[in-house]
DNA sequence: GGTCAACGTGCAGTAAGGCTGCACGTTCGG
DNA sequence: CCGAACGTGCAGCCTTACTGCACGTTGACC
């Protein structure tokens, strides 16, 4: 519920209803109602509130369901295969948030998928060792160990290892695409 | 503008105004008005729309500003220092999106900051080589090479290397905190 | 104990604007 | 040439976001 989130943000900062109301240019009563779920804010008041908190509207809807701390070790990670590809990714993140980080090792010749793939996210690959080739639409890029590549996943793309040695990568994706 | 975003999501899927309206249970006219910015949707209609798209409300407000492809190589990256710490991070991502990925090498004894630090994000550290110690509130965790740790950055935390060798890490943060 | 300020909330009223139904101009395929 | 589907202008309804004021409660200070 959006009210809970706003209540949390306000109390976190030690603000009173009236203080926040004044800064946001709305009435204290309205805030009270919103926080208790009696009514729902309009986008315009949501904008004002986000402004006071220095946050984006988007962040008001991301549940901060505190997943404490999550450690993943090789061997005890959930793996997921790319659609129609050979790579097996290991998931480094719990998988309930807005951030997904994967780890993979590509054997020589291995590709992430047969066709180019697109999804509405941003992703960033860091090459730990070996050499990675990234195809984006009709271009392809070579990324060596220690280098990284960031791309808009809306553009059809795939990864492949056309070198003779294993390639180890870390892949950060936001938001995750199930 | 939220209307542009909705228009994008709709046309991406090849849906007509009427088709979307029916699935969402609202009138086509309303959608037309929203997409053109004539009016703003209420939270309840936003929920319905997000439901049809299989997206979160938050994602409707994240701008998908397409930054093509971005390659970063060691030496030509912008560096940024942690507040009050010794570490120098190298930024792997362009820095205009919702995803930030950093790279850093911690010399023995080096810490990310003097005090514990918190910001409203999620982050995930992958340890490339060496050993990293992560302090979260009153707990501390040891993460070895090949392992990773994900944490809610709202909890006060910092990184340190209390081993005798260099520690190399990759750090994914979402959303970035400037 | 008394006072006072600040807290969060109930209530009634208002004004705003989200939302609908219908009609119109346009563009496409058959 | 017709029909269906597209996106949009308009007028009106009617929900509801939002306000102002008053109330009960708490805690600091004298």
**What pLDDT, in 10s, does the model give residues B28-68?**
999 999 999 999 999 999 999 998 887 778 778 876 554 45
> Measured between alpha carbons, how far is A15 from A7 in angstroms, rounded to an integer?
10
Nucleotide nearest A27 (Cα, C1'): D19
Note which residues in 22-81 of chain B have CB less than 8 A from chain A.
40-44, 56-62, 64, 66-74
User: Is the Cβ pair A170, B126 closer than 8 Å?
Assistant: yes
| Residue with more model confidence, A121 or A160 | A160
Which runs of E-coded beta strand occur in B26-121? Answer: 69-72, 79-81, 88-91, 100-106
Q: Which of A126, A137, A169 to mutate to test the interface with B (most CBs of B within 10 A)?
A: A126
pLDDT class of B71 with cuts at 50, 70, 90: low
User: Is the Cβ pair B126, A101 closer than 8 Å?
Assistant: yes
Q: Report the pLDDT averaged over residues A31-39.
A: 93
Q: Give residue B75's Cα distance to chain centre.
A: 24
Taking CB atoms and an 8 Å cutoff, what residues of chain A touch B128?
A: 128, 170
Taking CB atoms and an 8 Å cutoff, what residues of chain A touch B146?
A: 73-74
Those nucleotides of strand D lying less than 7 Å from any protein Cβ are: 5-10, 16-21
Which runs of E-coded beta strand occur in B42-166? Answer: 69-72, 79-81, 88-91, 100-106, 122-129, 131-136, 139-144, 148-152, 157-160
> Measured between alpha carbons, how far is A22 from B105 in angstroms, rounded to an integer?
45
**What pLDDT, in 10s, does the model give residues A55-111?**
778 778 876 554 456 666 666 666 776 555 677 787 777 666 678 888 888 888 888
Return left, alpha or beta for A68; rule: phi > 0 is left, psi -120 to 50 is alpha, else beta: left
> Measured between alpha carbons, how far is A82 from A88 in angstroms, rounded to an integer?
7
Q: Report the pLDDT averaged over residues A112-137.
A: 80
3 state SS of A91: strand
């Amino acid at each position: 519920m959006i009210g809970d989130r706003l209540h949390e943000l306000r109390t976190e900062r030690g603000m009173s209803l009236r203080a926040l109301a004044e800064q946001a240019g709305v009435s204290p009563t309205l805030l009270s109602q919103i926080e208790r779920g009696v009514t729902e804010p309009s986008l315009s008041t949501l904008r004002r509130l986000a402004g006071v908190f220095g946050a984006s509207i988007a962040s008001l809807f991301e549940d901060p369901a505190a997943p404490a701390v999550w450690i993943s070790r090789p061997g005890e990670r959930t793996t997921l295969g790319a659609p129609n590809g050979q790579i097996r990714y290991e998931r480094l993140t719990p998988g309930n948030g807005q951030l997904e980080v994967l780890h993979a090792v590509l054997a020589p010749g291995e590709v992430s998928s047969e066709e180019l793939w697109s999804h509405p996210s941003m992703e960033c690959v860091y090459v730990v060792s070996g050499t990675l080739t990234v195809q984006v639409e009709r271009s392809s890029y070579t990324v060596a160990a220690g280098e990284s590549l960031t791309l808009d996943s809306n553009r059809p793309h795939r990864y492949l290892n056309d070198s003779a040695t294993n390639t180890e990568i870390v892949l950060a994706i936001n938001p995750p695409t199930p």
